[in-house]
Amino acid sequence: MPPESSPPPVRHGLSPEYAQLRDTVAQFAREVVAPVIGAHYEAEEFPYEVVAAMGRLGLFGLPFGEDVGGMGGDYFALCLALEELARIDSSVAITLEAGVSLGAMPLDRFGSPELRARWLPRLTSGEALGAFGLTEPGSGTDAGALRTSARLDGDTWVINGSKAFITNSGTDLTEFVTVAAVTGPATGGRPEISTILVPSGTPGFVVAPAYSKIGWCCSDTHGLSFDDVRVPATNLVGDRGRGYAQFLQILDEGRIAIAALGTGLAQGCVDESVRYAKERQAFGRPIGDFQAVQFLVADMAARAHTARLAYYDAASRMLAGEPFKREAAIAKLTASDAAMANARAATQVFGGYGFMNEYPVGRFYRDAKVLEVGEGTSEVQRMLIARDLGL
């Protein structure tokens, strides 16, 4: 496994450990994910057997310490795995991304020793999934305007409110959601926000039916509601009133992971287009002989490469303990633009077949859009970059 906290050597290629991990996940994606994911996608099913195999491979434990059942790797290792999975399928990649960076990471970073010991080993093994509930029907980008409330009644939190678009919140493996809630009156113009772990099945906690989505069709997404939901005071994750700062930190890191996922989708478009351009004949020759097709593919390769360098750089800074907010936003913006542009170009290379669900590029087209929205819209990334430049 990659050594803990050693920055990836961006300019001189990957270390042997990182390269081995990347190759192992690439092989897994080709041999285990690719053969079955199209059917799950069309049926809009959560791919349980694929997620179980990802757990056995140790992917859910990649960036966690061995004390909680993890592999002792780092966040860059997770990103490499996400890129390789997303080259084949983004629903599987987002299930891992959300399970690790939104489900388990807040507990690892901020949870009490009791909460970490109780939940993390099941998350790092992939036996269970946790979800992260920040977005609400009335607040997404403006996350600080959330309305869900939690008040202390003796040694119990009483939670009321609702959440929207929560990934991994309704699978058979889901064991809790960490909920961001207002826990006290505003001081300095902003309400006191804290995060509280709510186990699945707690009375009053209702998971709505899964959304019907245009993409990520094997990923699990639900709205949630909380009606006088009571959990122990000890389910507070981190310090009371620190919820806002905590989720900003989690989302900064998550942007690098989403950038890796977008890079994988962009690269998957290159892989599929090169293969198809060599096979497909028109006017007595492979369409890859036409310069118009070559240029489409060359531009795709340039975008995927640029996106990869951007996320390698952001991850490298993060692991070195340097500021990385601007670079993470640049990576996420670059990779989601690359994914969208490449999905459009790849479906063009495939002609009419690009519009058929039978081919992966159709899935790539449907899956790319959400990368411009989830974990901070492209407008938010631009705002973060501009703010970091002093504007």
Ligand X SMILES: Cc1cc2nc3c(=O)[nH]c(=O)nc-3n(C[C@H](O)[C@H](O)[C@H](O)COP(=O)(O)OP(=O)(O)OC[C@H]3O[C@@H](n4cnc5c(N)ncnc54)[C@H](O)[C@@H]3O)c2cc1C
Catalytic annotation, residues? 375
Residue from 141, 234, 294, 357 in contact with ligand X (CB under 6 A) = 141
Token pair for residue 260? 């890796």
Q: What is the DSSP letter of 323?
A: -
Binding mask 341-360 for ligand X (x = CB under 6 A): --------------------
Q: Specify the residue, 88 or 180, whose C-beta has the smaller distance to ligand X.
A: 180
- Toward ligand X, which CB reaches closer, 313 or 337? 337
Q: Does 129 bind ligand X (CB under 6 A)?
A: no
Closer to ligand X at the Cβ: 21 or 150? 150
Candidate list 101, 178, 221, 342; residue touching ligand X; CB under 6 A: 221
Q: How far is the CB of 374 from ligand X (least distance, A)?
A: 5
Q: Looking at beta carbons, which residue is closest to ligand X?
A: 140
Class of residue 13 by CB neighbours under 10 A (exposed 0-12, middle 13-18, buried 19+): exposed
Per CB under 6 A, which region of 186-194, 276-284, 317-325, 367-375 contacts ligand X?
A: 367-375
Write down the least CB distance from residue 98 to ligand X, Å.
Answer: 5
Among 37, 98, 196, 224, binds ligand X (CB under 6 A): 98
| Start-to-end Cα distance in the chain | 41
CA distance 152 to 230: 9
CA–CA–CA angle 20, 260, 212 (5° rounding): 120
CA 384 – CA 85 distance, rounded (Å): 28
Contact pick of 132, 244, 324, 350 for ligand X (by CB under 6 A): 132
Distance of alpha carbon 368 from alpha carbon 374, whole angstroms: 11
CA distance 111 to 158: 19
Do residues 268 and 87 lie in contact, with contact meaning Cβ atoms separated by under 8 Å? yes
Which DSSP symbol is given to 2? Answer: P
* CB 36, CB 49: distance < 8 Å: yes
**What share of residues in the chain are helix, strand, coil (percent, to 5)?**
55, 20, 25
Part of the chain binding ligand X (CB under 6 A), chosen from 28-36, 46-54, 110-118, 373-381: 373-381
> Is residue 379 a contact point for ligand X (CB under 6 A)?
yes
Q: Is 373 in the site for ligand X (CB under 6 A)?
A: yes
Angle between helices 90-97 and 48-57 (to 10 degrees): 60
Binding of ligand X at residue 377 (CB under 6 A)? Answer: yes
Binding flag, residue 374, ligand X (CB under 6 A): yes
**Contacts to ligand X by CB under 6 A:** 98, 102, 131-135, 140-141, 165-167, 216, 221, 370, 373-375, 377, 379-380
